[in-house]
Amino acid sequence: MTLQDVKRLFKQYTSREHSWLSVPITAATLLVLLVFVKSCQGIIYSHSNECRIYRLGYTIDEARALAAALSDEQADSLVARGEHDTIAYPIIGQRYFIAKNFDHYLALHKVDTAASLADIVAIVNVGDFPEGAIQAAHCDTSKGYLMLVNGQHFLDESYKPDSLVLFKKSYCYEEQKALSPVVEAFKAMQQECKKETDAQLMVNSAYRSYKQQITTHKNNNKRYVAQPGNSEHQTGLAIDVTSLQHPEKWAFDKSKEGVWMRENCHKYGFILRYPEKQSRILGYSYEPWHLRYVGKDVAKQIHDEDITFDEYYAYYLERQQAQ
């Protein structure tokens, strides 16, 4: 019986329809029931997540919000700490907050108190947990243009994309190939860049097989070259770009065409995969030449929200898929 039921019965049995003799008895009985129900509700609330969190020193509004955002297991973990964690409430208000990562956010803040809340959320969301990175898993190739390949998501040695297309010789330094939409998008981008900067973008590297990546990884700086199976080049969706005027990668970074490409590549479906200010989040050094094709809509969203592809994948694909 709920409190509303008791109130309804009290009103019913104290109405003029009932005899004057039964009213005092019924009223007294219902009053006892009312007190009993109220007591039970108090006991139940005292054991609720909201009340237990409130006792840690959070305001009632903070406790209510935390209780709504967390699972019972996470609430138990928060209460077990026995203290008021200063970032517990503000972290759930972060734009890219993912509920299942709550404990990892708090753990990272314990070891890196200087990190902003936004960085804490971003670092954890891409799988860099203070307790150790997530276990490596196969790349979900069913996601097509949006498949994620990184340190935690790998491709098998046998994986090869279908229908690879050669770039025209005027678009690359040596024979290169990629998926058809990538080739067409680069062609359109190169032509527009030529009009606006009078410089010619060139593909320095595109598709690389697993075996080719073994050699590339062995012969180059490990800060910029992924291990075999963890390279986006194996997908046929990634290209390394410089220009005829500035073929050296770091010279291209400062060139007018390099700047133009980074500011405009999203219009053609590309993203700068490893931005300079996001190296801590991604675990890869800045690569101003490395583009990844994700399609125009997603590229625009990533550009407008100023996030990395890993963050986009975790928040908009994995999180929504799990809901």
What pTM was computed for the model?
0.82
Residue 42 has pLDDT above 70, yes or no: no
The pLDDT tens digits of the residues spanning 113-155 come to: 999 999 999 999 998 887 765 678 899 999 999 999 998 899 9
Active site residues: 287
Give, to the nearest 10 degrees, the angle between helix 3-13 and helix 22-46.
170
pLDDT at residue 21 greater than cutoff 70: no
Note the pLDDT of residue 139: 95
Instruction: Give the start-to-end residue ranges of the domains of the chain.
Output: 3-46, 49-125, 137-322
pLDDT in tens, 176-220: 999 999 999 999 999 999 999 999 999 999 999 999 898 877 777
pLDDT of residue 17: 52
Residue 55 in this model has a pLDDT that exceeds 70: yes
Say which CATH class 137-322 falls into: alpha beta
